[in-house]
């Protein structure tokens, strides 16, 4: 019996013998070709940035946004993140670049917001895109004076809520980091020559082969689930504190100094956009906790 941490090493060792377990060669080739195409498109983006061609970058960004949304949602997310990072990091001597950064980030997040779970952009990419829709304190102070401020804030906040909720519902509370994972399945029927993770094709008996193949698929599904749950918890530790901070600032008007939480407004928007009661309570309590932490830190200074 192998523990979760031990199994990774074992998997790496037997990968030499399990080439047949991966996707079919044709699918792999298509995926590789698409990856290379994505890299070429990203290279075009960087070339325009090096030439300080903001107009050309905006035009290309629009074309690439449409192209990759129809080709691959996963690669679409990475393409949009690349575009937003370049709008932010290069100096075009034009304030419009920061507005374009936010426009494309919001577009990608809104697109993902409307898709089914298994078709959304990667959740880690969503978290990174959220950094690109952040508004400055001065912007918030000016925006709060307008009559439609509650709606504008609500529209921004729903994207935070969506990604937070998505993470919470994907995390399985049954996951145990100390759980002993399944051992490698072994063929039945008296198969004499056998090694961990071997291909079902090596088994002649069709019935034994089918049973072993099903057991092997179940094993890999278990390993994939285990590793995914570990990854999600790592993301939660990494990204949620930043999300708490941004939401606290967004709901601490009119000064937006994170010293006072507009609890009623936050609760109202949570009820508007988050169906799950547990997630609503989790977000509200986390932001309140963040307020206490911010207050304590400021008092110590």
Q: State pLDDT tens for residues 151-195.
A: 999 999 999 999 999 999 999 999 988 877 668 888 887 777 777
Q: Give per-residue pLDDT as tens, 202-239.
A: 888 888 888 889 989 998 998 899 999 999 999 999 99
Q: What mean pLDDT is reported for the chain?
A: 87
Mean pLDDT of 81-95: 96
| Structural Rg of the chain based on CA atoms | 24
Grouping H, G, I as helix, E, B as strand and the rest as coil, residue 53 is coil
10 Å Cβ neighbour count for 206? 8
Write down the H helix ranges in the chain.
4-14, 25-50, 54-71, 73-89, 96-114, 123-130, 137-143, 149-170, 206-250, 263-273, 277-300
* pTM score of the predicted model: 0.82
Domain boundaries, the chain: 31-133, 136-301
Structure tokens at 122: 């990667």
Answer whether the bond into residue 264 is a cis peptide, omega within 30°: no
Q: Which pLDDT value is given to residue 18?
A: 36
């Amino acid at each position: 019996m192998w523990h979760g941490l031990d199994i990774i090493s074992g998997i790496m060792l037997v990968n030499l013998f399990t080439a047949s377990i991966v996707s079919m060669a044709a699918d792999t080739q298509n995926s590789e070709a698409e990856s290379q195409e994505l890299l070429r498109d990203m290279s075009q983006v960087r070339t325009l940035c090096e030439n300080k061609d903001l107009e050309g970058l905006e035009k290309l960004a629009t074309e690439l946004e449409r192209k990759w949304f129809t080709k691959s949602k996963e690669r679409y997310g990475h393409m949009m993140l690349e575009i937003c990072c370049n709008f932010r990091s290069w100096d075009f001597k034009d304030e419009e670049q920061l507005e374009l950064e936010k426009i494309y980030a919001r577009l990608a997040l809104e697109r993902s917001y409307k898709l089914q779970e298994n078709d959304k952009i990667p959740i880690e990419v969503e978290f990174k895109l959220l950094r690109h829709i952040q508004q400055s304190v001065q912007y918030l102070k000016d925006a709060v004076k307008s009559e439609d401020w509650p709606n504008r804030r609500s529209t921004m906040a729903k994207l935070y809520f969506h990604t937070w909720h998505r993470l919470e519902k994907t995390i399985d509370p049954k996951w145990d980091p100390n759980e002993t994972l399944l051992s490698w399945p072994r063929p039945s029927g008296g198969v004499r020559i056998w090694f961990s993770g071997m291909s079902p094709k090596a088994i002649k008996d069709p019935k034994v082969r089918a049973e072993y193949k099903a057991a092997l698929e179940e094993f890999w599904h278990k390993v994939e689930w285990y590793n995914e749950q570990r990854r999600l918890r790592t993301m939660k530790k990494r990204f949620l504190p930043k999300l708490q901070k941004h939401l606290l600032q967004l709901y601490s008007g009119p000064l937006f100094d994170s010293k006072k939480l507009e609890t009623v407004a936050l609760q109202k928007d949570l009820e508007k956009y988050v169906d799950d009661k547990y997630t609503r309570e989790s977000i509200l309590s986390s932001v309140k906790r963040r307020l206490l932490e911010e207050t304590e830190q400021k008092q110590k200074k």
